[in-house]
Structure 1
């Protein structure tokens, strides 16, 4: 019988959302995850399988639990960085965009909101 898990999986996923939203997938190393999340490397791999596995868990959590008009950073980064090269991320992003379209009244409103957030990120 293995040792009991020494961390709360939900807390780790929520903390990963913040890390990935601030720095993007390719800018976050496994060492960054280990030090920022306070999880041992072996535990991270055992629970999430890989950095990508944790990223997917964080993205799914974010899209289903935390996505608000004022906090679109992880969605923007997922759209630009991962969706073009990762079909599973593209599927999640597409579903989130459709949900935003419904909530905001259509694709034009979604595009405006995302453009405004992207512009805000680029403005000092």
Structure 2
């Protein structure tokens, strides 16, 4: 009979998402996971199959717990400035890292990233009543602001310029 699991799988996945979101897939070794998550190597492999298996579960958790609420909030954005502020204030680190690091090399990650970005674009398009290409441009600008590491400087200035009341 196998040993009883001694860790909370959801807590491990949450912590892994944070670790991958801060250091990227290639920046996290299995030893890092074992050390930071407090899970024995054998338990990690038995539960998730591989580092990639844990990464996929962590990415999906990030999409469900961080990106999905953003999509829901964007659905009621009254204007482009509000949408921009929502996107630039969201925790999208793991999504962005997945898009630039893993998606080009992993079709499963690419599909997850594409679906998430499409959902963001569609929420913006629906809320603002704009064509899909314009919504995608706004999303791209917001993500660019996040990638440049200046969500409250440039993002706030751009949001004020887009806000007819600001």
TM-score of the superposed pair, with normalisation by structure 2:
0.70
Structure 1 gap ranges (5+): none
What RMSD over aligned residues (CA atoms) do the two structures have, in Å? 1.1
Spell out the pairing of 1:20-59 with structure 2 (5 A cutoff): 20-59=20-59
Bigger Cα displacement from structure 2, 98-107 vs 28-37: 98-107
Structure 1 residue aligned with 2:120: 100
Tell me the distance in 2 between the aligned counterparts of 1:40 and 1:116. 38
Bigger Cα displacement from structure 2, 57-66 vs 43-52: 57-66
Tell me the distance in 1 between the aligned counterparts of 2:138 and 2:58. 25
Does the residue aligned with 1:35 lie in a helix, a strand or coil? Answer: helix
Does the residue aligned with 2:26 lie in a helix, a strand or coil? Answer: helix
Q: CA deviation at 1:99?
A: 0.7
Structure 2 gap ranges (5+): 71-86, 126-134, 151-166
Q: CA deviation at 1:57?
A: 0.2
Q: CA deviation at 1:66?
A: 1.8
Structure 2 residue aligned with 1:118: 147
Largest Rg, 1 or 2: 2
Q: Which residue, 89, 96, 103 being the options, matches 2:109? A: 89
Q: CA deviation at 1:59?
A: 0.3
**1:16-74 deviations in Å (ceiling 9; x for gaps):** 01000000000100000000000000000000000000000000110112224321111
Q: CA deviation at 1:102?
A: 1.5
Tell me the distance in 1 between the aligned counterparts of 2:99 and 2:124. 18
CA contact (8 A) 2:16 2:54 kept: yes
Tell me the distance in 2 between the aligned counterparts of 1:6 and 1:66. 27
Q: CA deviation at 1:113?
A: 1.4
Does the residue aligned with 1:27 lie in a helix, a strand or coil? Answer: coil
Tell me the distance in 2 between the aligned counterparts of 1:37 and 1:59. 16
Tell me the distance in 1 between the aligned counterparts of 2:106 and 2:25. 12
